[in-house]
Amino acid sequence: MADLEYLGLTRPQKALRRLAAFLTGLPGRLGRGLLGLLRALGRLARGAWHELRDLALTFMEGDWKTRTSFFIMGFGSIARGQVMRGLLFLLFQAVFLLYMLFFGGAYLAKWGTLGDVETTRQGRVTVYGDNSFLILLYGVLTLFFVLAFLYTWRVNVRQNRISQRLQQAGKPLKTAREDVAALADSQFHKTLLALPTLGIFLFTIVPIVFMVLVAFTNYDYNHQPPGKLFTWVGLSNFRTMLSAGSANYGSTFSQVLLWTLIWAFFATFLNYFLGMMVAIMINKKGIRLKKLWRTILVMTIAIPQFVSLLYVSKMFAADGLINSYLMKWGWISEALPFWTNPTWARVTIIVINIWIGIPYLMLIATGILMNIPADLYESARIDGANAVQMYGKITLPYMLFVTGPYLLTSFIGNINNFNVIFLLSGGGPMSMELGGNAGYTDLLITWLYKMTVNNTDYKMAAVIGIIVFVVTALINVVVYNMIPSVKHEEDFQ
């Protein structure tokens, strides 16, 4: 379609056209994505082949120092005078071997079955057998340690090759002092990232991988360590989730998912627009006491949610303050069903969330509004634009442009907004129309929390966790790449 033709269309037509273009482009994009994946796999295979060849060459062309380093890490470095480096390599190897010998090895060895020694009783004394949970968890930990070791070993070998070549060329090797100095300069990113990376690996990646693996086991009420074993079951949990029959999981799941998305939508966009409105009101010329208004609103950020939300939740209860006073004043004769009627509960939660959310948005919008060049408004005013038009043509587009990424992260954040639901309604009210312990205000995340705490149903919780991940990832992939300010990260700087 010609550009001119497109420009001639009305707004809704344009939107439709863009949507159609997006949809028709989707197969192509998916295809390209698939191709990209294949290409990446190809690259990976080539890379692996390259690495292996390089390893073989290093060994064959290497001197005795290099060759010994294949077995005793850091030997070459020490022999070539880079004592500090070598010792570090050696230390790492020693730690790894000790770890495998006294801790990790045993767990990894049982990974295939997740343990086969049952817990037994001798008289009334318990003799504990294998603990499937710990085998799985420490197995994951050990696996990552093995990968880290392989990587370090590879680095150690490569260093030997480089050093050997440098020495053959008669060039000096780096001294320990130079190594340390590099860490504050050319290798500064490694220094800064070392601890955060370790932390993220140990306390984010390992647990996540563990939980993903749980989805493929039968870890539930009937298979709880340390008394009992659990084991791999393949994809059967996913089948249970998708089959409509058992325990109503399928239909409940779609219900909960739908509400999660509705909630995330309102919690994000309603707050966004209302927060912006409040910011515009406060920042309007001629409004006094700007600081006071802002300060009052910001109270909800300053006070921990477990205090404010728990309190507000009780305020809205059937016998809470709000109903009591409304009845005392004779405005209502029966308590308003804030938490007992599904629709009321959902609306109440969204409204209370406005109370929490507006202040953040107000602050953000205030900062951004101040950044909008004043001459834009000035020229608009000269052209005779009124307040609404200026808002639609200048304020909103500008805001949307700069806060695109924020909107996305906050949407994702709201999908996983545990606190608000947990503290306000606890997921209720429930209904026989929903299965698996879910209530009408349950988000996927509060639902799976209940599943683990009340029902010890870790396998299903893990399945739902994976699905939540897939949903958010999809939203991210679709939306993230459409945000202009992300595409042009470098331009922005």
Partner 1 sequence: MAKRDAIPEVETYIDHQAGVIREVQPPAPRSKKAAERRANRAIYTALVIISVVWLAPFLFLVLQSFRSYLTEDGGMVSYLVPKAFSLDNYRFLFEDGRYLRWYTNTLTIALFVSVLQTGMVLSVSYVLSRMRFRGRRFIMNMILVLGMFPGFLTLIALYFLLKQFGLTQEGAIPGLILIYVASSGMGYYISKGFFDTIPKSLDESARIDGATRFYVFRRIIMPLSKPIVIYTILMGFMAPWGDYVFASYVAFGKSDSYNVAVGLYRWVNTLDFQGYFTRFCAGGVLVAIPITILFFLLQRYYVEGVTGGAVKG
Partner 2 sequence: MRKIFALVLSLALALSLFGAVAQAEGFSGEVKIWVADAMVDLTHAKVEEFKAANPQYAGLTALIEAVGEGDSATNMITDVEGGADIFAFAQDQLARLVAAGALVELSEENAALVAEQNDAGSVAAVTLGGLVYAYPMTSDNGYFLNYDKSVITDPSTLEGVLAQAEAAGKSVYFEINSGWYQTAFFFGTGATVTYDVDDAGNLVKANINYASPEGLAALKGMIALAKSPAFVNGSSADNATNYAAIVVGTWARETLSKAFGDNYAATKLPTFEVDGTAYQLSGFGGFKMLGVKPQVDEAKLAACDALALYLTGEEVQAARFEQSGWGPSNLNVQQSEAVKADFVLSALAEQLQHTMGQGQYPGDYWSTATGLGDDVIAGKLNDLTDEQLMERLTQFQDILIGLANPQ
Note whether 226 binds partner 2 by CB under 8 A: yes
Judged by beta carbon, residue 128 or residue 418, the one nearer partner 2 is 128
What is the distance between the alpha carbons of residues 18 and 228, in angstroms, rounded to a whole number? 56
Judged by beta carbon, residue 362 or residue 438, the one nearer partner 2 is 438
Q: Which of residues 449-478 bind partner 2 (CB under 8 A)?
A: 450, 453-456
Cβ neighbours, 10 Å, residue 436 = 22
Is 74 within 8 Å of 85 (Cβ atoms)?
yes
Note whether 231 binds partner 2 by CB under 8 A: no
247 binds, among partner 1, partner 2, none (CB under 5 to 8 A by kind): partner 2
236 binds, among partner 1, partner 2, none (CB under 5 to 8 A by kind): none
Q: Which of residues 280-299 bind partner 1 (CB under 8 A)?
A: 281-282, 284, 286-287, 293-299
Q: Which of residues 402-421 bind partner 1 (CB under 8 A)?
A: 402-406, 408-409, 412, 416, 418-419
Note whether 311 binds partner 1 by CB under 8 A: yes
How far from the centroid of its chain's Cα atoms is residue 87's Cα? Answer: 38
Task: Select from 203, 256, 242, 291 the least CA-distant residue to 441.
Answer: 256
Q: Which of residues 422-451 bind partner 2 (CB under 8 A)?
A: 428-437, 439, 450
Tokens of residue 287, six digits: 């409004």
Strand partners, 122: 125
Q: Which of residues 185-224 bind partner 1 (CB under 8 A)?
A: 185-186, 188-189, 191-193, 195-197, 199-200, 202-208, 210-211
* Contact range with partner 2 by CB under 8 A, out of 3-11, 40-48, 54-62, 328-336: 328-336
DSSP state of 391: I
Judged by beta carbon, residue 272 or residue 338, the one nearer partner 2 is 338
Judged by beta carbon, residue 79 or residue 467, the one nearer partner 1 is 467
How far from the centroid of its chain's Cα atoms is residue 463's Cα? Answer: 16
What is the distance between the alpha carbons of residues 89 and 74, in angstroms, rounded to a whole number? 5
Give buried/exposed letters for 380-389 (b at 16+ CB in 10 A, else e).
eeeeebeeee
Opening angle at CA 291, ends 287 and 295, nearest 5 = 125
What is the distance between the alpha carbons of residues 4 and 373, in angstroms, rounded to a whole number? 30
Judged by beta carbon, residue 248 or residue 300, the one nearer partner 2 is 248
227 binds, among partner 2, partner 1, none (CB under 5 to 8 A by kind): partner 2
Note whether 128 binds partner 2 by CB under 8 A: yes
Residue 221 main-chain phi, psi, to 5 deg:
-50, -45
Cβ neighbours, 10 Å, residue 137 = 19
User: Could you say which of 113, 126, 197, 251 contacts partner 2 (CB under 8 A)?
Assistant: 126
User: Could you say which of 82, 268, 308, 441 contacts partner 1 (CB under 8 A)?
Assistant: 308
Q: Which of residues 12-41 bind partner 1 (CB under 8 A)?
A: none
Task: Select from 340, 341, 486, 360 the least CA-distant residue to 414.
Answer: 360
Q: Which of residues 340-379 bind partner 2 (CB under 8 A)?
A: 340-342
228 binds, among partner 2, partner 1, none (CB under 5 to 8 A by kind): partner 2
User: Could you say which of 231, 324, 416, 485 contacts partner 2 (CB under 8 A)?
Assistant: 324
Note whether 248 binds partner 2 by CB under 8 A: yes
Burial of 10 (0-12, 13-18, 19+ CB in 10 A): exposed
| Cβ partners under 8 Å of residue 48, min gap 6 | none
DSSP state of 246: G
* Contact range with partner 1 by CB under 8 A, out of 167-175, 230-238, 340-348, 401-409: 401-409
For residue 342, say if its preceding peptide bond is cis, omega within 30 degrees of 0: no
Note whether 114 binds partner 1 by CB under 8 A: no
**CA 18, 22, 23, 25 torsion: positive or negative?**
positive
Judged by beta carbon, residue 333 or residue 386, the one nearer partner 2 is 333
**Minimum CB separation from partner 1 for residue 25, in Å?**
22
What is the distance between the alpha carbons of residues 358 and 229, in angstroms, rounded to a whole number? 49
3-state secondary structure of 217: strand
Note whether 315 binds partner 1 by CB under 8 A: yes
Query: Angle formed by the axes of helices 132-168 and 11-61, to 10°?
Result: 60
* Contact range with partner 2 by CB under 8 A, out of 17-25, 245-253, 295-303, 348-356: 245-253
Max Cα–Cα distance, the chain, nearest Å: 97
Q: Which of residues 156-215 bind partner 2 (CB under 8 A)?
A: none
Element (H, E) at 120: strand 120-122
231 binds, among partner 1, partner 2, none (CB under 5 to 8 A by kind): none
Q: Which residue has the tokens 């808002």?
A: 391
**Minimum CB separation from partner 2 for residue 314, in Å?**
7
**Minimum CB separation from partner 2 for residue 430, in Å?**
4
384 binds, among partner 1, partner 2, none (CB under 5 to 8 A by kind): partner 1
Opening angle at CA 32, ends 27 and 35, nearest 5 = 125
Judged by beta carbon, residue 58 or residue 252, the one nearer partner 2 is 252
Binding residues for partner 2 (CB under 8 A): 119, 123-128, 221-222, 224, 226-228, 246-248, 314, 317-320, 324, 333-335, 337, 340-342, 428-437, 439, 450, 453-456
